[in-house]
C-alpha cells in the first residue's frame, strides 16, 4: 500500500503511456514529466508569493494580503490576472529582440535545472551521469539572461543592476560549486540520483544525510549562503535594491514580462534550494527510518517549504549588504572556507571510519572559521569612506 | 644499515633548511629566525649523538658505513655522491653540532642589538649545514661543494658588517687567499678523477681511498720522481693549507677577525679552519700511501709535518707582539692549526684529530670569552685599554682562564694531553727531530703570550676611560653611538652559560685520550681501548710529558715576570717586551711583514713585468706596427681610388635596390595583426596543399 | 548523417556566422552563445556528456560573460568605425574561404583515413565522469597539474593586467 | 557520407568562420572571439575522432578537449585583460589603430 502511494505518480505516468504507440513513448514520457514539473512548481511559486507576503507582513507587524479569498489566498491569482492584462511597455531605445528574449531565456534556464532533481523515489526526469555539472552549467545561463535584460533596456539603472547581478552571481558561483564538491568527493559520483541514494540509508533510526557530518554541515551552511546570493535574495539583493537602483535589471519591464522575471527568480531559487536538499538534506529521504512509509515526494516538498520559509525569515530579518562587503564576503570568507571544507572532506575520506574523524574534521572546519572570522573583523578599520571610482 | 646511517643526510640538511627559511623571512622576525637556527642545530646535535652511539655500538666490526646515491650520468658513467659514517665522522659531527649549538645560543646575546640579526642567523645556519656536509661527505666532489659553500659563508660572515671598509677588504682577502689553495684542491681532484674514475672515498672496494685505486696511483710516477698519489695529495693539501691558514696562505686569518666574534669563534677557530685538518685526515690513506715495502713515511706526510711545524712556531711568535685581543687568538689559532698538521704528519689521524677536537672547545671558549669581554667593554678590542676586568666580569674571567690554561697545555687540562700526544709523536718521528723542538718552542711561546694577554686584560686596574676613544678604531659597532665613559659589565646569562659549558669541556675533555687510557685514539682506529697506568712508562712518554710541562711552567713564569710582577699603569706605556727588544718586537708586531713581503715581491714583480711589457709595447711593437701601417696607408690610397671610382657606384646602386626591397617588404610588417594573420592563413593553405600533395606521391 | 546532426550543425553554423557577422558587438556575443550551445549539443550527441556540460559552463557561463563585460567596459562612447578598406576585406575573406576550401577538399579526398577506421560503433563509447576522473588522476595527472598552474597564473596575470597602475585608478 | 566526415566538414566550416571573423573584424574583442571559435572547431574535431576513432577507450580526445577548454578559458581571461589594458592606454579597441610599438 505504502509502496503504491509512494510510486503513484510513476505508475500513473506508465498507465497513461500505455495508451500511446511505442514509437513516441519516450518523447511523450519526457513531455508528461516536463508538464508536470512546470505545473507543480508554478503552483509552488504562487503559494510562495502568498507565503512571503504574508510572512513578511507578520514580521513587520502588518497583516499582509487579506482581501482576495480566504486569508488572501487568491492574491497570487489576482496578481497574475493583473500582470497579464497590463500594457506591455517597451522603451523606445531598447533593443527589441533581446529585450523580448531575456525573460524567456531566464524562465527557460531556471526550469532547465529541474531535469536532474530527484523529486521522489524514481521521480527524476533524466538521471544524468554528470547531473550536478549539468545543473550548474544551466544555472550559468541565467547570468546571460540577466545581462540581456539589463543591456537591452538601454537604461543606466538596468545596466548597473545587471552588472551588479552578474558580478555577484559569478563571485558566488565559485563557493557554490566548491561547497557542493565535498558531497561529490564523498559519493564519488556527479549523479544526483546516486547522491540521494547514498543518503537514504539509516543507522538505527538516524539517516545518513550529509548535513550530519562536520564537512556536510559546513558545506550546507556555505551552500545556502551562496545560494541566497546566487538567487539575489535579501540580504544580498543589491542588484534590485529599491532604494538605490529601483528594481535593477528588470526596471524597464512591465506587465507579463515583469511577472516572468519574478517567476524565473523564484523558480531559480527553488531549484537551488532543491539542489541543497539533494546534496545535503537527503533529497526525498525520510528523516527517521520509522517514517519511511510517508511518500517520498512529500518529504521533498516538506524540506523545500522549510527552506523557503527560512529564506523568507532571513529576508525579514537581515539588512542589505554594501557592494564591497558582498564581494569581500565572497572572496575573503566564503572561498577560503569552502576550500578548507574540501580539505576536511578529504581528511574524512582518508581517515578510518570511527569516532576519531569526527572531532578532527570538526576542528579542521571550526578552527579556521574562528580565526578567519576574527581576522576579518579585526582588519576592519573605521574611517571616512572614499569612493574610488565615482570621484 | 640502520636508520641513522640511511638518514645521516638530515644532519646537514636541517640547518640548511633553516637557513633557507631564514633567508625568506623578514628582518623583523628575529625570534623566529634564532629559534629556527638553534632548533635545527639542536636536532642535528641529537642526530649526531645517535650517529655517535651507533658507531660506538658497532665498534669493533665494520669501520666505514656508506650510502651512495647516483647523481647524474656523464657519458656512460654515473657520477655518484654519498655520505659515510665512521668514527672520525661521528666525532666531528658531535663536535661541530655541539660547539655550533653553544655558539648559536651565545650569538643570541651577542648580536641582540644588531639590525641584521635574521641575516646573521641565516648565514650561521648555512655555514653549519655546509660544514656538516663536509664532515659526512663520502665523495671528494660533495666535500668540495660543501667546502666551497663553507668558504662562501665565511666570506659573507667576515664581511657581515660590510659597511666597514676593513671588514669588506678582509672578506675579500679571505676569499681570494683561500681560493688560491682551492685551485690546487680542484686540480688534485680532477687529476684524481682522471686517474681513478671515481671520487667516492669508499665504494665497496672501488672507492679512491681503497686499496686497488691507491695501488694503481702509487705505481705511476710523474715529474720529479713523485708518485702520482703524492702529487695529488700535495695538490689537495694546498686547499687544506689555504683553509687552515698554514704558513704561506695564513694571511687571511688574522684579518678575518673583522667579523662578529661568534663568527670568529665558530668559523675561524673551531670548525672551518679545522676543515683543512679534517680533509687531510679524511684522505689520510691517500696521503700516507707509499710504494709497498718502503718503511719511510710518504713524501706528502713529510711536507705536511714540516709545514705544520713551521706554522706552529710562526704563529706563536707573531702572537707575542699583538695588541688586539682577537688577533692574538687568531695567530694562536694559526699556531695550533700548525700543531694539528704536524700531528697528522708525524703521528697519524688520531693524533691530529684529538688536538682538533680539544682545540675546538678551548679555542671557541677563548673566542667567546673575548667576545664577552668586548661586549662588556662596549666594543673595545685593544688589550692595552682593558685591565682589571677580573673584578667586573668574574664568570668570564674564570672561564677565560680555564681556556687559557688548556691552550697553554697546563698539566691535566685538555690541551696538555692532546699537545703532548703530538710532541710525543714528533719525538719518535723517524725523519728528523727538528719538528719536535719547534713544537716545544711553540709550546713555550704559547704559554708566554697567553699569560701576557691574561695580565693585560684581567689584571691591574681598568684603563678603559683613559685615552680618548677614537671611533675609527672601533671594530664592533656596539658602542659606536655613544662616547660616555664605559663601565665594564658582566655579559647576560645567554652568553655566560655557553662559556661555562665550554670551560668544563676545555678542562675535562683531555681525559678521553690520555696515554693511560687512549680511548680516543683507539676509537678513531677502530680498536677497543684498554686502561693501564703502565702506559705512562712506555717508550719516551714520561720524559716528553715532563719536559713539555716544564716548558709550560717556564712560559708562564716568563709571562708573569714581564707582565704580572709590575702591573701595567697606563694604556700609553709601551710593552715591557718592546723595551727589551724593540726591533724584534716591531718585526713580530707587523707579523713578520708577510703582508708587506707579498706586497714587495709579488705585487712588485707584477709591476716590473708590466713596466717591461709597456716598454716593449711602446717602442718595439709600436715601431713595427707603425712601419706596417705606413705601408698599409700607401696601399689604402691606391685602394681608395679604386674604391671610389669603381666599387662605390656599383655598390650604391646595389644598396638602393636593397633599400627599395626593404621598403616593399616592410609593408608586411605594418603592425596590423590581421595582416599577419592573413599571411598565416595563406601559409596554412600552402601547408595543407603540400601535405595532400605529399601523400599522393 | 542524421537529422539531429543536420539541425544542430545548422544552428551552430548560423550562430557562429551571426557572431562573426553582426554589426553590434553585444549581439555578436549573444549569437556566439548560441553557437557555443550548439557545439555543446554536438558533444552531447557524440556521447561526450562531461565535455558538453563543461563547454556550457565555461563558454556560455564564463567566456561569453567575460567578453560582454569587456565590450561594456571598452565602449563607453559609440565610436563610428568606418568599414574596413575593401581590398583588405576581400583579401581576408578570400583567405578564409580558401582555407575552408582546402580543408574540405582534404577531408573529402583523403579516403585513406576513412578506410582505416573500424566499423562504426552504434552506441557511443562510454566516457563516464568516473572514467574521466580516473584518467585525469592517473594517466593525465601531470597535464592536470600543469593546467592548474596555468589557470592560476592566468588568474593572477589577468588581475594584474586589468588592475593597471595605482595612479590610474585614482 | 561518413558521419566522421560530416563532423570534420562542420568543424572546418566553423574554423573558417572563426578565421574570417578574426581576419575581418576590427574590434579586438571580436577577433579574440574568432580565435576562440577556431579553438572550438578544433575541439569538435577531437571529440569526433574520439567517437569514431579506433581506440575510444583511451579517452584521449576527451582529455585533449578538457585541457583545451581550460587553456582557452585562461587565454580568454588574459586576452580580454590585455585588451582592457590596451584600451585604457589607447582609448580604442580598433586593431587598425593599435599598430605602433611605441607610446
Cβ separation B685–C98 shorter than 8 A: yes
C-alpha cell at B253: 686569518
CB B488 within 8 A of CB B462: yes
- Of B336-340, B463-467, C80-84, least confident by mean pLDDT is C80-84
Contact A361, A278 (CB under 8 A): no
Angle between helices B541-559 and B434-458 (to 10 degrees): 30
| CA dihedral angle for residue A187, residue A190, residue A195, residue A197, rounded to 10 degrees | -100
- Yes or no: say if C38 and C8 are a contact pair by the CB < 8 Å rule: yes
Q: In Å, what is the CA distance from A56 to each residue of A53, A63, A282, A313, B113?
A: 5, 9, 29, 8, 66
Annotate B57-85 with b (16+ C-beta within 10 A) or e (fewer): eebeeebbbbbbeeeeeeeeeeebbbbbb
Q: Are B399 and B500 in contact (CB under 8 A)?
A: yes
- CB of C56 within 8 Å of a chain A CB? The answer is yes
User: In Å, what is the CA distance from B393 to each residue of B134, B407, B488, D32?
Assistant: 37, 21, 8, 78
**Terminal-to-terminal C-alpha distance of chain D:** 55
Which residues in C lie closer than 8 A to residue D94 (C-beta atoms)? 79, 81
Phi, psi dihedral angles at B81 (to 5 degrees): -120, 165
Which of A95-99, A340-344, B5-9, B333-337 bottoms out in mean pLDDT, i.e. has the lowest? B5-9
**To 5 degrees, how large is the angle CA A215–CA A218–CA A222?**
130
- What would the grid cell of residue A87 be? 500594457
- D61–chain B nearest CA distance, Å: 22
CA distance B679 to chain D (A): 10
- Closest-CA distance, D67 to chain C, in angstroms, reads 7
Alpha helices in A231-356 (DSSP H): 242-245, 255-280, 296-317, 323-328, 335-350
**B82: enclosing H helix or E strand:** strand B77-85
Q: Pick the residue of A97, A102, A116, A134 with the most C CBs within 10 A to test the interface with C by mutation.
A: A134
Q: Among C24, C65, C169, whose Cβ lies nearest the Cβ of A147?
A: C65
CA distance C34 to chain B (A): 26
Given a cut of 70, whether residue A390 has pLDDT beyond it is no
Per-residue burial over B474-497, b if 16 or more Cβ lie within 10 Å, else e, is bbbebbeeeeeebebebbeeebbe
Q: Lowest mean pLDDT: which of A49-58, B48-57, B285-294, C4-13?
A: B285-294
pLDDT in tens, C19-39: 888 888 888 888 999 999 999
What is the tens place of the pLDDT at every residue in C42-73?
998 888 888 999 899 888 888 888 888 888 87
Which residue shows C-alpha cell 565535498? A182
Which residue in chain C has the smallest CA separation from B685? C99
Contact D101 B671 (CB under 8 A): yes
The CB density around residue A353, as the number of other CB atoms within 10 Å, is: 7
Helix (H) or strand (E) holding B239: helix B228-244
| Confidence band for D13, pLDDT divided at 50, 70 and 90 | very high
Question: Are A13 and A33 a contacting pair, CB within 8 Å?
Answer: yes
Query: What tens digit of pLDDT does each residue of B334-379 get?
Result: 888 898 888 888 877 888 888 888 888 888 888 888 888 888 877 7
Chains A and B physically touch (3 or more Cβ atom pairs below 8 Å): no
Enumerate residues 6+ apart whose C-beta is below 8 A from A49. A75, A76, A79, A262, A266
Which residue in chain C has the smallest CA separation from B696?
A: C110
Question: What 8-state DSSP symbol labels residue A330?
Answer: I
For residues A99-103, average pLDDT:
89
Rg of the Cα trace of chain B? 32
pLDDT of residue B645: 74
What is the C-alpha to C-alpha distance for residues A7 and A293, in angstroms, rounded to an integer?
A: 12
**B403 close to B369: Cβ distance less than 8 angstroms:** yes
Distance CA A115, CA A118 (A): 8
Cα separation, B157 vs B256, whole angstroms? 9
User: What is the reported pLDDT for B322?
Assistant: 82
Is the CB of C102 less than 8 angstroms away from the CB of B689?
A: yes
Residue of chain B nearest C96, judged by CA positions: B681
Residue B84 main-chain phi, psi, to 5 deg: -140, 160
C56 and A137 in contact by Cβ < 8 A? yes
Q: Which residue of A has its CA nearest to C69?
A: A163
Q: Which residue among C24, C50, C130 sits closest to A133, beta carbon to beta carbon?
A: C50
Q: Does C26 touch chain D (CB under 8 A)?
A: no
In this structure, what C-alpha cell is assigned to residue B646?
669603381
Residue A69 or residue A274, greater confidence? A274
CB nearest to D99's CB, from B670, B678, B681: B670
**Which DSSP category does B412 fall into?**
T
Which pLDDT belongs to residue A277? Answer: 92
Q: Does B670 touch chain D (CB under 8 A)?
A: yes
Average pLDDT over residues A157-172: 85
- Chains B–C, number of C-beta pairs less than 8 Å apart: 28
CB-based contact C20:D20 (threshold 8 Å)? yes
Q: What cell was used for A241?
A: 535594491
From first CA to last CA, the distance across chain C in angstroms is: 59
- pLDDT tens digit sequence for B302-315: 888 888 888 888 88
Distance separating alpha carbons of residues B404 and B410, to the nearest angstrom: 9
Residue C22: how many CB atoms within 10 A of its CB? 16
Of D18, D73, D5, D17, nearest to D45 (Cα)? D5
Is D67 close to C143, i.e. CB distance below 8 A?
Answer: yes
Nearest by CB to C53, from A134, A173, A189: name it.
Answer: A134
**CB of B671 within 8 Å of any CB in chain D?**
yes
Q: How many CA atoms, within 13 angstroms, populate the side-chain half-sphere of residue B469?
A: 23
Share of chain B above pLDDT 90, in %: 2
In this structure, what is the dihedral angle of CA atoms A221, A225, A227, A228, given to the nearest 10 degrees?
140
* Cell, residue B313: 712556531
B482 pLDDT more than 60 = no
| DSSP letters spanning A1-64 | -HHHHHTHHHHHHHHHHTTS-GGGHHHHHHHHHHHHHHHHHHHHHHHHHHHHHHHHHHHTTS--
Question: Phi/psi zone of residue D91: left (φ > 0), alpha (ψ -120 to 50 degrees), beta?
Answer: left
Rounded mean pLDDT of chain C? 80
Query: Between the CA of residue C68 and those of A1, A77, C158, D92, what are the distances in Å?
Result: 56, 38, 16, 16
Contact C127, D59 (CB under 8 A): yes
**Residue A61 φ/ψ region, left for φ over 0, alpha for ψ in the -120 to 50 degree band, beta for the rest:** left
- Tell me if A129 and C26 make a contact (CB, 8 A cut-off): no
Which residues on C lie below 8 Å from D59 (Cβ)?
127, 131-132, 135
Chain C residues with beta carbon closer than 8 angstroms to that of B684 = 99
Structure-block grid coordinates of residue B180: 688560491
Q: For residue A235, is the peptide bond before it cis, meaning its omega torsion is within 30 degrees of 0?
A: yes
**C-beta atoms of B678 and C99 within 8 A:** no
pLDDT in tens, B392-414: 888 888 888 888 888 888 888 88
Task: Check pLDDT > 50 for residue C170.
Answer: no
Contact status of C141 with chain D (Cβ, < 8 Å):
no
Instruction: Report which secondary-structure segment, H or E, holds B71.
Output: strand B65-74
End-to-end CA distance of chain B: 66
Share of chain A above pLDDT 90, in %: 14
Q: How far is C22 from chain D (nearest CA, A)?
A: 10
| Bridge partners (DSSP) listed for residue B563 | none
Query: Who contacts B453 (Cβ-Cβ below 8 Å, separation ≥6)?
Result: B325, B328, B383, B404
Residue whose grid cell is 655522491: B81
Could you report the predicted ipTM of this complex, rounded to two decimals? 0.68
How does pLDDT run across B615-653, given as a tens digit for each residue? 888 888 888 888 899 999 999 888 888 877 777 778 888
Instruction: Look at residue B399 and give its three-state secondary structure.
Output: helix
Q: What is the DSSP string of C36-54?
A: HHHHHHHHHHTT-HHHHHH
B-contacting chains (≥3 CB pairs under 8 Å):
C, D
How far is it, in rounded angstroms, from Cα B116 to Cα B120? Answer: 6
Angstrom distances, CA of residue C23 to CA of B534, C28, C34, C43, D26? 111, 7, 17, 29, 11
Chain A positions in Cβ-Cβ contact with residue C26 (cut-off 8 Å): 98, 151
Q: Which of C4, A138, C34 is nearest to D14 (CA)?
A: C34
B511 pLDDT band, cuts 50/70/90, is confident
pTM flag (> 0.90): no
Decide if A140 contacts C61 (C-beta within 8 A): yes
Chains that contact A by 3+ CB pairs under 8 Å?
C
B588 C-beta neighbours (distance < 10 Å), count: 20
Dig out the grid coordinates for B314 from the structure.
Answer: 710562526
Q: Is A181 helix (H, G, I), strand (E, B) or coil?
A: helix
Interface of B with C in 677-696 (CB under 8 A): 678, 681-682, 684-685, 688-689, 691-692, 695
**Is B484 a residue whose pLDDT tops 50?**
no
For B122-250, where are the E strands, in sequence order?
Answer: none
d(CA B342, CA B359): 14
The DSSP 8-state label assigned to residue A197 in this structure reads H
Pick the range with the lowest mean pLDDT from B9-18, B258-267, B591-600, B674-683: B591-600
Contacts of C96 in chain B (CB under 8 A): 681
Least confident of A193-197, A338-342, A384-388, B308-312: A384-388
* Cell 711589457 -> residue: B613
Q: Is B388 left (phi over 0), alpha (psi -120 to 50) or beta?
A: left
Closest CA to B323 of B387, B374, B384, B243: B384
Amino acid at each position: 500500500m505504502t509502496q503504491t502511494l509512494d510510486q503513484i505518480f510513476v505508475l500513473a505516468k506508465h498507465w497513461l503511456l500505455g495508451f500511446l504507440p511505442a514509437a513516441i513513448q519516450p518523447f511523450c514520457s519526457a513531455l508528461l514529466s516536463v508538464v508536470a514539473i512546470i505545473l507543480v512548481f508554478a503552483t509552488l511559486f504562487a503559494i510562495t508569493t502568498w507565503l512571503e507576503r504574508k510572512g513578511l507582513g507578520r514580521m513587520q507587524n502588518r497583516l499582509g494580503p487579506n482581501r482576495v479569498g480566504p486569508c488572501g489566498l487568491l492574491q497570487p491569482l489576482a496578481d497574475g490576472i493583473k500582470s497579464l492584462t497590463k500594457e506591455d511597455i517597451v522603451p523606445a531605445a531598447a533593443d527589441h529582440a533581446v529585450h523580448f528574449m531575456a525573460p524567456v531565456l531566464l524562465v527557460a534556464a531556471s526550469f532547465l535545472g529541474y531535469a536532474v532533481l530527484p523529486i521522489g523515489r524514481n521521480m527524476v526526469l533524466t538521471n544524468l551521469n554528470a547531473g550536478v555539472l549539468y545543473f550548474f552549467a544551466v544555472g550559468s545561463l541565467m547570468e546571460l539572461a540577466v545581462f540581456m535584460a539589463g543591456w537591452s533596456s538601454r537604461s543606466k539603472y538596468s545596466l548597473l543592476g545587471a552588472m551588479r547581478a552578474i558580478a555577484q552571481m559569478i563571485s558566488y558561483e565559485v563557493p557554490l560549486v566548491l561547497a557542493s564538491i565535498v558531497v561529490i568527493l564523498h559519493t564519488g559520483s556527479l549523479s544526483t540520483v546516486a547522491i540521494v541514494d547514498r543518503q537514504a540509508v539509516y543507522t538505527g533510526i538516524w539517516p545518513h544525510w550529509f548535513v550530519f557530518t562536520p564537512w556536510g554541515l559546513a558545506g550546507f551552511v556555505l551552500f545556502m549562503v551562496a545560494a541566497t546570493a546566487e538567487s539575489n535574495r535579501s540580504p544580498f539583493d543589491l542588484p534590485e535594491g529599491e532604494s538605490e537602483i529601483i528594481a535593477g535589471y528588470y526596471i524597464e519591464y512591465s506587465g507579463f514580462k515583469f511577472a516572468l522575471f519574478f517567476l524565473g527568480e523564484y523558480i531559480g531559487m527553488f531549484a537551488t534550494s532543491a539542489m541543497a536538499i539533494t546534496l545535503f538534506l537527503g533529497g526525498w529521504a525520510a528523516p527517521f527510518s520509522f517514517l519511511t512509509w510517508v511518500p517520498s515526494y512529500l518529504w521533498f516538498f516538506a524540506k523545500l517549504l522549510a527552506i523557503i520559509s527560512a529564506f523568507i525569515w532571513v529576508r525579514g530579518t537581515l539588512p542589505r549588504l554594501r557592494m564591497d562587503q558582498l564581494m569581500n564576503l565572497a572572496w575573503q570568507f566564503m572561498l577560503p572556507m569552502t576550500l578548507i571544507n574540501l580539505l576536511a572532506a578529504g581528511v574524512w575520506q582518508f581517515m578510518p571510519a570511527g569516532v576519531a574523524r569526527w572531532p578532527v574534521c570538526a576542528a579542521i572546519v571550526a578552527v579556521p572559521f574562528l580565526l578567519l572570522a576574527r581576522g576579518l573583523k579585526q582588519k576592519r578599520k573605521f574611517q571616512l569612506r572614499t569612493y574610488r571610482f565615482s570621484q | 644499515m640502520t636508520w641513522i646511517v640511511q638518514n645521516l643526510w638530515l644532519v646537514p640538511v636541517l640547518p640548511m633548511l633553516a637557513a633557507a627559511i631564514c633567508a625568506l623571512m623578514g628582518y623583523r622576525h628575529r625570534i623566529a629566525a634564532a629559534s629556527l637556527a638553534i632548533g635545527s642545530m639542536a636536532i642535528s646535535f641529537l642526530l649526531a649523538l645517535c650517529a655517535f652511539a651507533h658507531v660506538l655500538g658497532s665498534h669493533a666490526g665494520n669501520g666505514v658505513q656508506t650510502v651512495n646515491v647516483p647523481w647524474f650520468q656523464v657519458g656512460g658513467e654515473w657520477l655518484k655522491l654519498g655520505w659515510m659514517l665512521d668514527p672520525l665522522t661521528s666525532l666531528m659531527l658531535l663536535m661541530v653540532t655541539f660547539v655550533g649549538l653553544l655558539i648559536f645560543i651565545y650569538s643570541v646575546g651577542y648580536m641582540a642589538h644588531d639590525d641584521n640579526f635574521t641575516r646573521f642567523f641565516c648565514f650561521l645556519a648555512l655555514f653549519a649545514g655546509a660544514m656538516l656536509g663536509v664532515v659526512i661527505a663520502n665523495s671528494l666532489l660533495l666535500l668540495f661543494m660543501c667546502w666551497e659553500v663553507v668558504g662562501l659563508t665565511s666570506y659573507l660572515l667576515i664581511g657581515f658588517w660590510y659597511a666597514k671598509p676593513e671588514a669588506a677588504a678582509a672578506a675579500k682577502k679571505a676569499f681570494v687567499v683561500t681560493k688560491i689553495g682551492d685551485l690546487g684542491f680542484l686540480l688534485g681532484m680532477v687529476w684524481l678523477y682522471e686517474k681513478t674514475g671515481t671520487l667516492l672515498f669508499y665504494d665497496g672496494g672501488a672507492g679512491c681511498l681503497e686499496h686497488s685505486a691507491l695501488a694503481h696511483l702509487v705505481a705511476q710516477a710523474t715529474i720529479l720522481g713523485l708518485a702520482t698519489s703524492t702529487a695529488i695529495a700535495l695538490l689537495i693539501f694546498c686547499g687544506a693549507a689555504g683553509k687552515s691558514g698554514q704558513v704561506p696562505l695564513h694571511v687571511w686569518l688574522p684579518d678575518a677577525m673583522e667579523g662578529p666574534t661568534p663568527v670568529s669563534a665558530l668559523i675561524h677557530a673551531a670548525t672551518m679552519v679545522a676543515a683543512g685538518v679534517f680533509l687531510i685526515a679524511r684522505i689520510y690513506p691517500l696521503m700516507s700511501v707509499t710504494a709497498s715495502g718502503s718503511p719511510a713515511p710518504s713524501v706528502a706526510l713529510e711536507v705536511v709535518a714540516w709545514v705544520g711545524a713551521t706554522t706552529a712556531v710562526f704563529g706563536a711568535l707573531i702572537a707575542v707582539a699583538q695588541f688586539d685581543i682577537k688577533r692574538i687568538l687568531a695567530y694562536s689559532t694559526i699556531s695550533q692549526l700548525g700543531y694539528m698538521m704536524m700531528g697528522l704528519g708525524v703521528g697519524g689521524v688520531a693524533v691530529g684529530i684529538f688536538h682538533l677536537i680539544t682545540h675546538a672547545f678551548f679555542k671557541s671558549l677563548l673566542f667567546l670569552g673575548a667576545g664577552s669581554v668586548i661586549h662588556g667593554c662596549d666594543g673595545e678590542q685593544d688589550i692595552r685599554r682593558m685591565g682589571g676586568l677580573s673584578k667586573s666580569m668574574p664568570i668570564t674571567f674564570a672561564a677565560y682562564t680555564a681556556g687559557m690554561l688548556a691552550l697553554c697545555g697546563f698539566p691535566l687540562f685538555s690541551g696538555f694531553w692532546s699537545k703532548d700526544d703530538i710532541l710525543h709523536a714528533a719525538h719518535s718521528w723517524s725523519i728528523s727531530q727538528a719538528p719536535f723542538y719547534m713544537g716545544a718552542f711553540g709550546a713555550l711561546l704559547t704559554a708566554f703570550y697567553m699569560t701576557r694577554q691574561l695580565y693585560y686584560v684581567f689584571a691591574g686596574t681598568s684603563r678603559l676611560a683613559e685615552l680618548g676613544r677614537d671611533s675609527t678604531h672601533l671594530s664592533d659597532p656596539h658602542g659606536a653611538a655613544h662616547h660616555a665613559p664605559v663601565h665594564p659589565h658582566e655579559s647576560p646569562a645567554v652568553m655566560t652559560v655557553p662559556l661555562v659549558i665550554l670551560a668544563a669541556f676545555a678542562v675535562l675533555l683531555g681525559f678521553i685520550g690520555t696515554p693511560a687510557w687512549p680511548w680516543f685514539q683507539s676509537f678513531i682506529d677502530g680498536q677497543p681501548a684498554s686502561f693501564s697506568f703502565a702506559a705512562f712508562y712506555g717508550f719516551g712518554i714520561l720524559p716528553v710529558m715532563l719536559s713539555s710541562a716544564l716548558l709550560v711552567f717556564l712560559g708562564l713564569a716568563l709571562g708573569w715576570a714581564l707582565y704580572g710582577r709590575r702591573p701595567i699603569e697606563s694604556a700609553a706605556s709601551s710593552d715591557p717586551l718592546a723595551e727589551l727588544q724593540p726591533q724584534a718586537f716591531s718585526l713580530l708586531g707587523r707579523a713578520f711583514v708577510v703582508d708587506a713581503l707579498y706586497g714587495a715581491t709579488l705585487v712588485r714583480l707584477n709591476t716590473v713585468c708590466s713596466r717591461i711589457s709597456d716598454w716593449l709595447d711602446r717602442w718595439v711593437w709600436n715601431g713595427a706596427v707603425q712601419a706596417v701601417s705606413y705601408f698599409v696607408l700607401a696601399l689604402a690610397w691606391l685602394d681608395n681610388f679604386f674604391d671610389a671610382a669603381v666599387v662605390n657606384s656599383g655598390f650604391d646602386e646595389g644598396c638602393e635596390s636593397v633599400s627599395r626591397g626593404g621598403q616593399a617588404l616592410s609593408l608586411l610588417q605594418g603592425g596590423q595583426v590581421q595582416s599577419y594573420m592573413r599571411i598565416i592563413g595563406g601559409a596554412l593553405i600552402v601547408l595543407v596543399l603540400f601535405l595532400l600533395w605529399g601523400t599522393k606521391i | 548523417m542524421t537529422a539531429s546532426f543536420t539541425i544542430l550543425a545548422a544552428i551552430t553554423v548560423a550562430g557562429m556566422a551571426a557572431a562573426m557577422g553582426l554589426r553590434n558587438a553585444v549581439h555578436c556575443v549573444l549569437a556566439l552563445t548560441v553557437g557555443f550551445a550548439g557545439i555543446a549539443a554536438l558533444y552531447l550527441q557524440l556521447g561526450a556528456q562531461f565535455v558538453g556540460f563543461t563547454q556550457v559552463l565555461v563558454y556560455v557561463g564564463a567566456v561569453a560573460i567575460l567578453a560582454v563585460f569587456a565590450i561594456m567596459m571598452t565602449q563607453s562612447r559609440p565610436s563610428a568605425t568606418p568599414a574596413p578598406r575593401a581590398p583588405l576585406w576581400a583579401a581576408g575573406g578570400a583567405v578564409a574561404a580558401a582555407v575552408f576550401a582546402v580543408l574540405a577538399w582534404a577531408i573529402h579526398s583523403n579516403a585513406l583515413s576513412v578506410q582505416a577506421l573500424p566499423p562504426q560503433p552504434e552506441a557511443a563509447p562510454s566516457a563516464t565522469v568516473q572514467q574521466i576522473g580516473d584518467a585525469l588522476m592517473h594517466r593525465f595527472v601531470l597535464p592536470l597539474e600543469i593546467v592548474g598552474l596555468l589557470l592560476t597564473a592566468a588568474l593572477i596575470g589577468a588581475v594584474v593586467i586589468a588592475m593597471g597602475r595605482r595612479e590610474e585608478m585614482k | 557520407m561518413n558521419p566522421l566526415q560530416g563532423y570534420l566538414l562542420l568543424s572546418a566550416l566553423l574554423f573558417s568562420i572563426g578565421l574570417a571573423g578574426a581576419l575581418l573584424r576590427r574590434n579586438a574583442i571580436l577577433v579574440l572571439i574568432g580565435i576562440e571559435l577556431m579553438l572550438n572547431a578544433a575541439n569538435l574535431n577531437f571529440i569526433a575522432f574520439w567517437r569514431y576513432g579506433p581506440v575510444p577507450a583511451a579517452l584521449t580526445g576527451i582529455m585533449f578537449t578538457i585541457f583545451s577548454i581550460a587553456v582557452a578559458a585562461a587565454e580568454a581571461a588574459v586576452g580580454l585583460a590585455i585588451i582592457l589594458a590596451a584600451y585604457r592606454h589607447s582609448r580604442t579597441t580598433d586593431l587598425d589603430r593599435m599598430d605602433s610599438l611605441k607610446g
